[in-house]
């Protein structure tokens, strides 16, 4: 098993290019099921989750050619409508094939994804939306069995709470439904906007893109034809590297960034004393005279993202003062706290709030990654910890970061991927 070894204390400098967004690419890949023509996707990140979902398409009978950041997908040959546990258990986002499979073929079987390290994320909102559109759904032997023999019908969907995956599944189902579907309390993330734009580029009429109310005119079962689609930049990867610049108090430049997508992170880093130059798709972070504490609460986009909470906690661990971080979206997303404390951080938890008292110095230690974003927080802490930090279980990182150690090394970090001794 691989681990990352980091010798801390190096200043960073230089520039890197941000990869395509994993969380945008996954629903876009699932949406290709809605087409019976070849689709080309570009700027895909080189991460495990992308390869996993592409493998699922081939298991369903699709033809996929994946070269570096480009995938050529032809789903005209799909002959299976069953997403098996073997794949769905590796990646929750596999549930995104539910809506498009049902919309195009009138039936599907998708394994229940179960829980994950950051807490339960049930799919009941996805299923209620599809039932409102006329699907008959039964859960049996760990699988969601869904049928809509006469096709899906437009409906008014009101989500009790904002759900990114539920919005995506409903959007894809609505694209091929008969009539008009209205989604109220829809998620507004940039990844949702990209999916809407992709569907619109294939002729689906969608009103309200970028708002919490989406109105979709379905094609009545007619498959879509997509033009080439380029995946948007990864806002969480961009935010993570900005935190790398912040925690080492260095000046680094990121290329291929949409600054609007990372506005919440930029605002909080400015509060902590860092400066920025923003020019088109380039962002440069400048050091702070003093790293100030920060108070933040995770909420849905455009608020502060839960996927940046752990990285900001690592920066707050060396700030001059006490920070308060409240996690409102997932009940189990503080598992990195004990590992940061192993490095010398002073963090205590009370319910969904973490109090982070800044310390003068962190110290290298062996730490263990527990989920994707927690892993990156430990890497960030290792960049400034005195001595050597070994971050283990980095298969979490490989799910969502494209060549993290290579990009950090290009900025001057002393970081290397190593193999565990057997």
Give the whole-angstrom CA distance, residue 70 versus residue 183.
31
* Per-residue buried b or exposed e for 230-256, using 16+ beta carbons within 10 Å of the residue's own CB: ebbbbbbbbbbbbbbbbbbbbbbbbeb
CB 214 within 8 A of CB 182: yes
**What's the sign of the alpha-carbon dihedral 219, 225, 227, 229?**
positive
The secondary structure element, H or E, covering residue 323 is: strand 322-326
Give backbone dihedrals phi and psi of 360, rounded to 5 degrees, phi first: -70, -30
Give the whole-angstrom CA distance, residue 251 versus residue 169.
40
* Active-site pick, 108, 116, 196, 243: 116
Give backbone dihedrals phi and psi of 213, rounded to 5 degrees, phi first: -130, 115
Helix pair 98-105, 22-31: axis angle to 10 deg:
10
CB 311 within 8 A of CB 243: yes
214: left (phi over 0), alpha (psi -120 to 50) or beta: beta
Cis peptide before 302 (omega within 30 of 0): yes
List % helix, strand, coil for the chain (3-state, nearest 5). Answer: 35, 25, 40
Look at residues 236, 187, 247, 224 and name the one whose alpha carbon lies nearest to residue 379: 247
Q: What angle do CA 374, 242, 248 make, to 5 degrees?
A: 85
Q: How many alpha carbons fall within 13 Å on the CB side of residue 417?
A: 13
State in Å, rounded, how far the first CA of the chain is from the last one: 9
116 is catalytic: yes
Q: What is the DSSP track for 141-156?
A: TTEEEEE-TT--B--E
In sequence order, the 6+-apart residues with CB closer than 8 A to the CB of 61 are 77, 78, 79, 80
In what order do the strands lie in the sheet containing 205-207? 156-158, 180-184, 213-217, 205-207
Catalytic residue numbers read 116
């Amino acid at each position: 098993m691989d681990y990352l070894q980091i010798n801390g204390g190096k200043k960073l400098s230089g520039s890197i290019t941000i990869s395509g967004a994993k969380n945008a690419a996954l629903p876009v890949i699932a949406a290709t099921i809605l087409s019976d023509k070849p689709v080309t996707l570009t700027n895909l990140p080189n991460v495990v989750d992308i390869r996993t979902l592409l493998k699922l398409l081939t298991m369903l009978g699709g033809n996929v050619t994946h070269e570096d950041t480009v995938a050529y997908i032809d789903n005209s040959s799909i002959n299976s409508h069953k997403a098996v546990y073997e794949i769905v258990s590796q990646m929750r986002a596999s549930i995104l094939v539910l809506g498009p499979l049902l919309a195009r073929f009138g039936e599907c079987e998708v394994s229940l994804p179960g829980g994950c390290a950051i807490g339960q994320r049930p799919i009941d909102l996805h299923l209620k939306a599809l039932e409102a559109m006329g699907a008959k759904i039964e859960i049996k032997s760990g699988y969601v069995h869904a049928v809509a023999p006469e096709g899906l019908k437009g409906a008014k969907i009101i989500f009790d709470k904002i759900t990114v995956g539920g919005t995506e599944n409903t959007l894809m189902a609505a694209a091929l439904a008969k009539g008009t579907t209205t989604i109220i309390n829809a998620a507004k993330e940039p990844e949702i906007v990209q999916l809407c734009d992709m569907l619109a580029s294939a002729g689906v009429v969608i009103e309200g893109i970028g708002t919490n109310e989406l109105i979709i005119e379905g094609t009545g079962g007619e498959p879509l034809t997509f033009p080439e689609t380029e995946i948007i930049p990864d806002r969480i990867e961009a935010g993570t590297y900005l935190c790398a610049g912040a925690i080492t108090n260095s000046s680094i430049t990121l290329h291929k960034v949409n600054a609007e997508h990372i506005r919440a992170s930029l605002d909080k880093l400015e509060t902590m004393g860092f400066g920025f130059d923003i020019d088109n798709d380039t962002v440069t972070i400048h050091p702070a005279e003093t790293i100030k504490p920060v108070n933040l609460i995770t909420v849905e986009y455009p608020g502060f993202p839960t996927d940046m909470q752990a990285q900001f906690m690592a920066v707050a661990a060396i700030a001059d003062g006490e920070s308060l971080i409240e996690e409102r979206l997932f009940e189990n997303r503080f598992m990195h706290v004990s590992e940061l404390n192993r490095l010398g951080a002073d963090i205590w938890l009370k319910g969904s709030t973490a109090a982070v008292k800044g310390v003068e110095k962190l110290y290298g230690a062996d730490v263990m990654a527990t989920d994707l974003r927690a892993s990156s927080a430990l890497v960030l802490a290792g960049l400034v910890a005195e001595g050597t930090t070994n971050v283990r279980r980095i298969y979490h990182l490989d799910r969502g970061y494209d060549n993290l150690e290579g990009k950090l090394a290009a900025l001057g970090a002393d970081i290397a991927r190593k193999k565990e001794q057997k």
